[in-house]
């Protein structure tokens, strides 16, 4: 090698600016084919010997070419490469170390091809940090996609965070940098040091595929073995699809793990995943919910984002423990017969310097144009869904949670912000699509492909869209022109009914349509009825505080509202604390107010929700046709003056039906007659005015008999006493 070129390579290595370290470091043919030379950068070494691992003998000493620690010299007259190790002398003594630059690439040709095509469905098995053995040597293989970088080094505890020590091999075919680092063990902290092609050094970057992360304010990835855990939920996994089918009872308890309950005896600290398994799972099972929905569990730097600004998409947050402890939490949910839904955030990501933004010195994951790439409302960056590698990254992440963590469904956050180019943007601050419209065609294509792939590979799971507009066919198959989601949150029902319930009963007759309008579109999608965290924060107050009237009336209003929700078509979702009528607005920094359950009114509300779950799950009429028009029929939706509605819920068997009557005024209505489908005795299966729930115990003595009096177009009818601000649910005997 010519002296100027040698000097240039040495300077690049010792200054961590070499774009192709494998072209210089490690074993290479000497000039004119005169055997092998080995070059190594070992800044802590004073002397370096080469040990031939075939016989354990020292075969050469490498002279020092540069004071920074660059050693190089001939080691063999043969041109055949051989396994070796360095025996180095340092100020601390003598030790033997492996040379990362003697090992071949670990990414296979097929992986490289699929990554380049954006069609690799298990990127998590190839990118990130993986414990592995190469040529009998244990270590960790690091791989990261950064096609625009000029140099990438892996840094961490194992090399004193020195970017000169482990520059990576660039796979130009797919834009991935990779390096096998011998001797690195589980628990090691690491990041990537990225230099741009212009020579600018970026802030250290978190691995986009980190499987475990430091707790804030730390920002490093942690090497971890994610293949060690042994699941025990085979029985659940074989039938989990049936638990979230359209004809199944789906009642979801939405939880923020950091504030469901705190450990007040330990400085108000978080409960760990094992502690949550011991307390949350039995509570949810006792309350009768079928699923737990977790606010985003992916690692996130800021507590106040509640997880909706994730920065480690492949890592369960370390706030509550290790990845395997989260796996155990999911496993134990399944053993208890409870499904797990995770909020998933593919719509945006935060601007933290160690995150995805400007990852390799280019707008790699985000749009370059701020009119497309920034959410002004949230101060976040928007993924470039048109870049197939980015879409593949997100798609892999969705599959990862379903496959590696046995998550049963993904609730996809902020879908509306993805669908519309002008979402929350004034005129002139957004870029129309190729046809001049405001639809984000690239995001639409991504969502459709995502749903197609997820339902192909994990057909017994579900995707749930939080989509707040009237975008059509969100939960219809892609082959029919839909987006392909399994369910959609019914934000219209939530907004209308909360607006209705917040009115004084005297004035409800003027907005009666807010109560009944949802049935006109109730079966246009597969709906979930959400009373979520969004309704009890940011000054909106708790649900109980939204109710009008004195204290008794507020509780009665909420009771009838819950009964209306649980008997209305659609799956159910209730945010934590709402089940016992939390008085104050939700605060992510503190526990729910469990002491309220010392109050009979709050006890009664909790008991009502438990009984509503039991009834909803046990009566086929209340859930089998949640998403089908055959499951609902009005008895009377026109009694505006009384603010009373009555309707039937029907199962697949014509004999399965329930009669629901809701009185939204504090007036007791005697002799209230409604028509019913057939003659006989009707049992008052649930009455929200029962003293068990904190009501006044007005009712129908447990049952009523029909009379052959025509009413509401039916030959038989029943004469009811309607309790004040209450619902009664009756079943034919």
Secondary structure class of 124 (helix, strand, coil): helix
424 dihedral zone (left: phi>0; alpha: psi -120 to 50; beta): left
DSSP 519: G
d(CA 387, CA 728): 54
**Number of other CB atoms surrounding residue 618 within 10 Å:** 12
Nearest C-alpha neighbor of 669 from the set 728, 608, 731, 604: 728
Residues near 203 by Cβ (< 8 Å), separated by ≥ 6?
A: 353, 354
Question: Please, are residues 262 and 215 in contact by the beta-carbon 8 Å criterion?
Answer: no
Secondary structure class of 651 (helix, strand, coil): coil
Distances in Å between the Cα of 532 and the Cα atoms of 64, 76, 159, 489 are 65, 70, 46, 10
Q: Which two tokens stand for residue 38?
A: 């080995």
d(CA 545, CA 536): 10
Nearest C-alpha neighbor of 302 from the set 261, 355, 262, 260: 355
In the chain, what's the furthest Cα-to-Cα distance? 109
Whose structure tokens read 């690439």? 105
d(CA 99, CA 15): 19
Whose structure tokens read 């909020």? 343
**Known active-site residue 135:** no
Q: Of all helices (H) and strands (E), which one includes residue 314? A: strand 312-316
Secondary structure class of 632 (helix, strand, coil): strand
Q: Which two tokens stand for residue 248?
A: 């199944």
Secondary structure class of 682 (helix, strand, coil): strand
| Alpha carbon 302 to its chain's center | 16
**Known active-site residue 369:** no
Q: Which of 389, 466, 496, 579 is catalytic?
A: 466
Q: How many residues are listed for the chain in this entry?
A: 733
Residues near 562 by Cβ (< 8 Å), separated by ≥ 6?
A: 608, 609, 612, 688
Nearest C-alpha neighbor of 665 from the set 699, 642, 691: 642
Q: Which of 99, 413, 467, 626 is catalytic?
A: 413
Distances in Å between the Cα of 122 and the Cα atoms of 86, 126, 209, 229, 232 are 35, 7, 11, 18, 23
**Helices (H) and strands (E) in the chain — how many of each?**
14, 37
| Beta strands 487-489; 462-465: pairing state | parallel
Question: Please, are residues 157 and 186 in contact by the beta-carbon 8 Å criterion?
Answer: no
Q: Which residues pair with 644 in a beta bridge?
A: 639, 663
Active site residues: 413, 466
């Amino acid at each position: 090698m010519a002296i100027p070129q040698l000097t240039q390579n040495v300077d690049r290595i010792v200054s961590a600016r070499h774009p192709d370290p494998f072209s210089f470091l490690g074993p290479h043919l000497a000039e004119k084919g005169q055997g092998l030379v080995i070059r190594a950068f070992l800044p802590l070494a004073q002397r370096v010997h080469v040990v031939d691992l075939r016989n354990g003998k020292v075969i050469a000493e490498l002279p020092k070419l540069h004071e920074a620690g660059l050693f190089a010299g001939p080691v063999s007259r043969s041109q055949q490469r051989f396994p070796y190790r360095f025996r180095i002398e340092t100020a601390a003594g003598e030790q033997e170390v492996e040379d990362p630059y003697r090992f071949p690439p670990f990414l296979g040709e097929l992986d490289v091809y699929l990554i380049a095509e954006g069609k690799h469905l298990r990127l998590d098995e190839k990118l990130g940090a993986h414990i592995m053995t190469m040529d009998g040597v244990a270590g960790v293989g690091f791989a990261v996609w950064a096609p625009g970088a000029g140099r990438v080094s892996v840094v961490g505890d194992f090399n004193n965070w020195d970017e000169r020590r482990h520059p990576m091999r660039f796979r130009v075919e797919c834009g991935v940098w990779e390096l096998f680092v011998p001797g690195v063990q589980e628990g090691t902290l690491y990041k990537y040091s990225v230099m741009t092609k212009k020579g600018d050094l970026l802030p250290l970057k978190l691995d986009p595929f980190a499987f475990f992360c430091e707790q804030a304010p730390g920002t490093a990835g942690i090497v971890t073995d994610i293949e060690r855990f042994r699941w025990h939920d085979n029985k659940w996994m074989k039938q989990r699809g049936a638990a979230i089918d359209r004809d199944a009872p789906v009642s979801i308890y939405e939880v923020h793990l950091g504030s469901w309950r705190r450990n007040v005896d330990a400085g108000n600290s978080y409960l760990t995943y094992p502690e949550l398994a011991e307390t949350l799972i039995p509570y949810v099972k006792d309350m009768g919910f079928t699923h737990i929905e977790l606010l985003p569990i992916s690692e996130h730097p800021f507590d106040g984002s509640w997880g909706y600004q994730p920065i480690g998409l492949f890592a369960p947050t370390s706030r509550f423990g290790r990845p395997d402890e989260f796996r155990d939490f999911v496993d134990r949910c399944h053993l208890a017969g409870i499904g797990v839904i995770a909020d998933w955030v593919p719509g945006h990501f935060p601007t933290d310097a160690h995150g995805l933004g400007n990852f390799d010195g280019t707008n790699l994951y985000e749009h370059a144009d701020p009119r497309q790439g920034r959410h002004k409302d949230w101060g976040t960056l928007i993924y470039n869904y048109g870049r197939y590698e980015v879409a593949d990254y997100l798609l892999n992440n969705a599959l990862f949670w379903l496959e590696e963590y046995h998550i049963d469904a993904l609730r996809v956050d902020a879908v509306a912000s993805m669908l519309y180019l002008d979402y929350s943007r004034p005129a002139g601050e957004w870029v129309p699509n190729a046809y001049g419209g405001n639809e984000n065609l690239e995001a639409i294509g991504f969502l459709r492909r995502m749903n197609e792939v997820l339902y192909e590979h994990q057909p017994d799971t579900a995707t749930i869209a939080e989509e707040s507009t009237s975008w059509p066919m969100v939960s219809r198959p892609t082959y029919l022109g839909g987006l392909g989601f399994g369910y959609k949150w019914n934000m219209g029902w939530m907004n209308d009914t909360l607006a209705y319930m917040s009115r004084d009963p005297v004035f409800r007759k003027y907005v009666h349509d807010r109560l009944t309008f949802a049935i006109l579109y109730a079966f246009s999608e597969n709906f979930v009825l959400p009373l979520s965290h969004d309704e009890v924060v940011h000054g909106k107050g708790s649900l109980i505080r939204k109710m009008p009237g004195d204290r008794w009336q507020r509780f009665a209003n909420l009771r009838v509202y819950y009964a209306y929700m649980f008997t209305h078509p659609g799956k159910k979702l209730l945010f934590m604390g709402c089940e016992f009528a939390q008085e104050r607005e939700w605060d992510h920094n503190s526990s729910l107010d469990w002491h309220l359950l010392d109050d009979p009114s709050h006890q009664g509300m909790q008991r009502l929700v438990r009984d509503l779950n039991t009834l909803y799950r046990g009566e086929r009429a209340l859930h089998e046709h949640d998403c089908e028009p055959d499951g609902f029929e009005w008895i009377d939706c026109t009694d505006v003056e009384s603010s009373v509605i009555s309707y039937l819920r029907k199962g697949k068997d014509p004999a399965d039906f329930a009669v629901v009557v809701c009185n939204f005024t504090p007036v007791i209505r005697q002799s209230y007659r409604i028509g019913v489908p057939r003659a006989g005795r009707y049992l008052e299966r649930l009455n929200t005015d029962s003293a068990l729930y904190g009501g006044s115990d007005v009712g129908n003595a447990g049952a009523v008999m029909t009379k052959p009096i025509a009413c509401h177009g039916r030959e038989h009818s029943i004469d009811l006493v309607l309790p004040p601000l209450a619902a009664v649910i009756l079943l034919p005997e």
